[in-house]
Amino acid sequence: MWTFGISECTTKPWPFEQDLERYPALGARAIEVWESKLARDPAARPAQLAAAGERGLPVCSFQADVHSLFPTRMRPEPEEFDARRDAFAATLERYAPALPGTVFVLNTGVARGGDVQRAFERTIPAYRDLARRAAELGVRLALEPLHPLAMNEDTFAWTLEDAREVVDAVGEPALGICADAWNLAGQHDLRARLAACGEKLFLAQVSDWRRPRSFLDRLPVGDGSLDLAPFLAGLRDARYAGPLVLEIFSDDVPDSLYDGDLEAAVTRSRHRLTALLGEPPR
């Protein structure tokens, strides 16, 4: 039993309303919302989020504009740690009431000067406070370890063990892990390491791999060289029961998927996942 979800970055050229219109026909039964796709007018956003549920697309996960405590390549501003923490806290306060049970995804950002120890020490109490507030609001947080390609650009956590160390140090039930097949590509003994995450595995994302031509170069499932079997088996061993969220980036490459038939790209991914897992429930 599995649920097919789509992250809005996969269909970046489409506006939010087009995502809601097309995703159900493409087999999606869950949506990962990107804050950047919501209306500029904050007053219009609650109605947009409600419309997702009305279309049969529960919001399984949410990507805030600022979702790291330290700067990243994608979101360098604001630079100050406290300002970034406060921005994410404000995001929780703003959206959590409309999104009960939703997972808000976190990245660490870059450790300034390569001082990972100092970044870790500052992160733990801040995440602890954010996780407690998330629990009060009825949502969860998931720290996503990123591929080593991003280690000096977006993160100081690039293995499952890095993420688990942070989660264990925080020690709050509302903080878990987001496992992304692309980011974990090539990591040794992935099935066992995912299984070890157990109930702390809050979200799973899928796409396919080729040798990247930019920081944001992914493929539909089945179009690349990634063997998803260990990843999917690890999710099963961990008893992960959430959706498989298709998260494809295709920026800064000459053959961007965003310039082509996005419906076909999504459909290929769903068909490949179905071949691996069987038909999802309707």
Q: Which residues pair with 18 in a beta bridge?
A: none
CB atoms within 10 A of CB 65: 13
Residue 153 is predicted with a pLDDT of 87
**Using an 8 Å Cβ cutoff, are 245 and 204 in contact?**
yes
Which stretches in the chain have pLDDT values below 70? Answer: 282
DSSP state of 102: P
Q: How many CA atoms lie within 13 A of 47 on its CB side?
A: 7
**Using an 8 Å Cβ cutoff, are 171 and 124 in contact?**
no
Q: Which domains does the chain have, with CATH numbers?
A: 4-277 (3.20.20.150)
User: Tokens 């799973």 belong to which residue?
Assistant: 204
Residue 186 is predicted with a pLDDT of 87
- Give tens-digit pLDDT for 9-53: 999 999 999 999 999 999 999 999 999 999 999 999 999 999 999
Q: How many CA atoms lie within 13 A of 14 on its CB side?
A: 21
- The pTM of this model reads 0.97
Residue 199 is predicted with a pLDDT of 97
How is the chain split among helix, strand and coil, in percent rounded to 5?
45, 15, 40
